[in-house]
Amino acid sequence: MTELDQHQPDLSDLISRVVDALKTETAYVLQRAHSLEATADTSGVGEFQGLAGECDSLSQRAHSSAAELTQGGVQDWVYSVKACNEVAFWATDGAGHARSAASSEYPTEIKSMLGSAVHSLENASFSINGA
């Protein structure tokens, strides 16, 4: 067994731990977005702003996850690192849509913006679930 072979299981464990945690958090925020989209007519500005904050937190967590992987020895071209960065991108996009929903006065626009936030978070979910 070479030194590389001995190091490989550690990377696999690291990747699994980091990616699984991000999958869980992404699924949670996506579920929240689905719920708000379904109840847009009875939800308020505070809830939309709350979703934006959760998306921001998810983005920060995803950036931290990518950094944890690379600092742990995973190359930045490995899909799990790319997936973490994609989650960060899509979560930031979702936060923008949620903020737009929070600042709108028009129910149709609010529903549309929440739909866009859901779409962004679905993209994030597809990225991380492929890792």
What the chain holds in terms of domains, given with CATH numbers, is 3-129 (1.20.120)
pTM of this structure? 0.91
Residue 122, φ and ψ in degrees, nearest 5: -65, -40
Task: Report pLDDT for 131.
Answer: 83
Task: Report pLDDT for 8.
Answer: 55
Amino acid at residue number 6: Q
> Residue 93's Cα: distance from chain center in Å?
10
Task: Report pLDDT for 19.
Answer: 98
d(CA 59, CA 86): 9
DSSP string, 64-97: HHHHHHHHTT--TTSHHHHHHHHHHHHHHHHHHH
Instruction: Please report, in tens digits, the pLDDT of each residue of the chain (131 residues total).
Output: 444 445 555 899 999 999 999 999 999 999 999 999 999 999 999 999 999 999 999 999 999 999 999 999 999 999 999 999 999 999 999 999 999 999 999 999 999 999 999 999 999 999 999 98
